[in-house]
């Protein structure tokens, strides 16, 4: 192992990363490059257990920067989907109000405004392939974490128990690690997302498939925001963001695994919309995923500890803004740099140096995200979105 003082912070330390999303896997890769002893504990039973969601775009200053430092940018260039970033703003009748597809393709990774798209599953596979064998322990849903002398004891739903010297909570919105650092709870953002996937879209939803042209569709109206994405496996992923009460999932009386009830709800919610949209709803795989949206308070903070921290949604949860994965991967990069720096004499100092800017940028993006929640659900949202694209 490198004998620099900063790297010695991790010497003979067992590092547990709870959560195998992009942030956790990026951190594992970066720390392994420095010779650290890292294990990722992921609740999924296997890499293929759960269908990954919509495509995501990586940004020059965050997600792409992390991949570059991880030595994975060339692998990403082979895995990303050129043209998947092309978007169309459409109205409820599927009239195109704005279209990216007529513009010249930009595939310049040195261009700071280039935001290449990749399927979530492909990004996960890329990161998994970069790790040492057996780095990820599957079927490991954390149920309890408690201090044990100068370390932490982690107990999982499968009955196993491990001890780690340093724990990183990368376990998302319902983090089991977060309460060890702060009692501050995210607040309900005022919207709930109904998400679905349509397999073999060319056959099951041919008109929408053609309208997408391998990219994305956006439409906002009557307090709803519909986002549709083409995926590399030929499926379509979509979500509807609705302004509803926080307990809507428990009080709406709808069984989203029942096709008949689902159709009745959709006909009511999308009354007056063009029939083309019902291709999505008629062919969607059931049950739909219902995701109430939460956001961290803008004044959150906590006292840094010597052997536990957070990254990604576990640290700074917010509604979708296009920044979530990018922030998580940037967190991973900066955390790895602090833990392996010559600058810090203790892990607590290193974690404090990481957490201060991480929390600050998380707060700023949370504010932007909540501003987006407001305007994306107004009657003029399509006009505003077209204006933003035209800029």
CA 388, 226, 204, 122: dihedral to nearest 10 degrees? Answer: 70
Residues comprising the chain, all counted:
391
Q: Which two tokens stand for residue 383?
A: 């006009």
How many Å separate Cα 208 from the centre of its chain?
25
Render 15-42 in DSSP notation, one character per residue.
EEEE--SHHHHHHHHHHHHTT-EEEEE-
Q: Which two tokens stand for residue 220?
A: 């906002």
313 is in an annotated binding site: yes
115 is in an annotated binding site: no
> What whole-number distance in Å separates Cα of residue 36 and Cα of residue 272?
58
68 is in an annotated binding site: no
In Å, what is the CA distance from 355 to each residue of 23, 66, 338?
15, 17, 10
Q: Which two tokens stand for residue 328?
A: 């998580």
81 is in an annotated binding site: no
> What whole-number distance in Å separates Cα of residue 312 and Cα of residue 314?
5
Neighbour-count burial of 142, counting CB atoms closer than 10 A to its CB (0-12 exposed, 13-18 middle, 19+ buried): buried
**Residue ranges of the binding site:** 50, 57, 120, 313
Q: State the binding site for FAD.
A: 57, 120, 313
Q: What residue numbers does the annotated binding site for NADPH cover?
A: 50
């Amino acid at each position: 192992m490198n004998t620099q003082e900063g790297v010695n912070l991790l010497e003979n330390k067992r590092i547990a990363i709870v959560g195998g999303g992009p942030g956790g896997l990026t951190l594992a890769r970066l720390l392994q490059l420095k010779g650290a002893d890292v294990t990722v504990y992921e609740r999924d039973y296997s890499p293929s257990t759960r269908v990954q969601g919509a495509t995501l775009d990586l940004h020059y200053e965050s997600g792409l920067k992390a991949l570059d430092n991880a030595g994975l940018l060339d692998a990403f260039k082979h895995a990303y989907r050129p043209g998947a970033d092309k978007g169309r703003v459409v109205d409820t009748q599927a009239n195109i109000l704005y279209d990216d597809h007529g513009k010249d393709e930009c595939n310049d990774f040195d261009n700071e405004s280039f935001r290449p798209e990749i399927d979530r599953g492909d990004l996960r596979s890329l990161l998994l392939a970069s790790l040492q064998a057996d780095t990820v322990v599957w079927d490991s849903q954390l149920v309890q974490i408690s201090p044990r002398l100068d370390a932490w004891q982690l107990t999982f739903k499968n009955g196993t128990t491990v001890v780690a010297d340093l724990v990183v909570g990368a376990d998302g919105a319902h983090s089991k690690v977060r309460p060890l650092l702060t009692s501050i709870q995210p607040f309900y953002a005022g919207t709930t997302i109904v998400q679905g996937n349509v397999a073999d879209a060319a056959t099951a939803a041919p008109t929408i498939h053609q309208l997408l042209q391998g990219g994305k569709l956006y439409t906002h109206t009557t307090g709803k925001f519909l986002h549709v994405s083409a995926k590399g496996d030929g499926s379509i992923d979509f979500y509807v963001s609705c302004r509803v009460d926080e307990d809507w999932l428990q009080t709406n009386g709808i069984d989203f695994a029942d096709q008949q009830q689902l159709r009745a709800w959709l006909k009511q919610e999308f009354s007056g919309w063009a029939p083309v949209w019902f291709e999505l709803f008629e062919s969607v795989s059931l049950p739909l995923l219902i995701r109430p949206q939460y956001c961290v308070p803008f004044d959150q903070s906590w006292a840094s500890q010597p052997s536990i921290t957070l990254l990604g949604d576990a640290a700074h949860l917010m509604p979708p803004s296009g920044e979530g994965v990018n922030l998580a991967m940037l967190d991973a990069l900066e955390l790895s740099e602090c833990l392996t720096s010559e600058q810090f004499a203790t892990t607590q100092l290193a974690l404090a140096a990481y957490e201060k800017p991480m929390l600050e940028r998380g707060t700023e993006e949370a504010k932007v995200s909540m501003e987006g929640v407001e305007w994306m659900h107004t009657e003029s949202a399509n006009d505003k979105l077209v204006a933003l694209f035209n800029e």
